[in-house]
């Protein structure tokens, strides 16, 4: 998750990011409910990153059958290749972590989503090494994950993970958007 491959932001993107940030600055996001944070902070950034057939979707069902186990998950959001009004290949999956009494470590859910998304992409392109990205958010804090999945048709696939540091949307909205935009850029060629 380094800065390699980041493209400069356009003036329009900068204006739109400032608009998103202005909706967060005077609020204590750690007290907002998940739906409010999703609509004010997370989904607007995903929509800004759309390009060509890559679209942002919410509540994305993911299912994959490996030789020894099945993975079924619902991603809170995803950016991926859309064909015929259907998200075919998810490239970035998002988990919005629960807070309060429903609080759980979001990483187990994220791993399942990564495995399911990698399998879906493998079905589409048959590459032996699937690179897939994910993010989990807690309030307006973003944590990115880069994953490599190999051996999808083997008894047990290999999942390798690389984590980013935490990014605060109120303070680092441009950096977060550049990361998301770079992920999209990897898949549009």
What is the length of the chain?
189
| Cβ atoms 60, 74 nearer than 8 A | yes
Looking at the predicted structure, is the pLDDT value of residue 153 above 80? yes
| Mean pLDDT of the 61-65 span | 93
* pLDDT at site 101: 46
Our measurement of the distance from residue 112's CA atom to the centroid of its chain's CA atoms, rounded to an integer in Å, reads 13
What phi and psi, each to the nearest 5 degrees, are found at residue 68? -115, 0
CA 74 to centroid of chain Cα atoms: 12
Phi, psi of 28 (to 5 degrees): -90, 90
The domain spans of the chain are 11-188
User: What's the CA gap between 48 and 75, in Å, rounded?
Assistant: 19
Give residue 34's pLDDT: 78
Q: Using DSSP, state whether 152 is helix, strand or coil.
A: coil
Choose among 8, 35, 41: nearest CA to 22.
41
Contacts of residue 14, defined as CB under 8 A and 6 or more positions apart, other chains included, come to 174
List the structure tokens of 47: 């929509």
Nearest to 47 by CA among 89, 88, 19, 83: 19
**What number is the average pLDDT over the span 76-104?**
80
Three-state DSSP class for residue 9: coil
Name the band, by pLDDT with cuts 50, 70 and 90, for residue 102: low
Rounded to an integer, the average pLDDT of 109-132 is 94
pTM score, two decimals? 0.88
What is the DSSP secondary structure assignment for residue 102, as one 8-state letter? G
Asked whether residue 103 carries a pLDDT value surpassing 70, the answer given is no
């Amino acid at each position: 998750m380094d800065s390699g491959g980041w493209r400069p932001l356009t003036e329009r993107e900068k204006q739109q990011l400032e608009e998103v940030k202005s909706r967060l600055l005077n609020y204590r996001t750690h007290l907002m409910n998940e739906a409010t944070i999703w609509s004010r902070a997370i989904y607007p950034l995903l929509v800004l990153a759309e390009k060509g057939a890559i679209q942002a979707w919410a509540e994305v069902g993911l299912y994959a059958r490996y030789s020894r186990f099945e993975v079924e998950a619902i991603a809170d959001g995803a950016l991926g290749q859309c064909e015929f009004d259907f998200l075919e290949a998810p490239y970035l999956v998002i988990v919005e972590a629960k807070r309060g009494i429903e609080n759980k470590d979001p990483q187990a859910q994220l791993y399942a989503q990564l495995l399911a998304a990698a399998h879906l992409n493998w079905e589409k392109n048959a590459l032996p090494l699937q690179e897939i990205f994910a993010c989990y958010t807690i309030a307006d804090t973003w944590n990115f994950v880069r994953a490599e999945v190999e051996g999808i048709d083997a008894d047990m696939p290999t999942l390798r993970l690389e984590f980013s540091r935490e990014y605060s949307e109120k303070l680092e909205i441009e950096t977060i958007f550049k990361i998301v935009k770079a992920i999209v850029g990897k898949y549009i060629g």
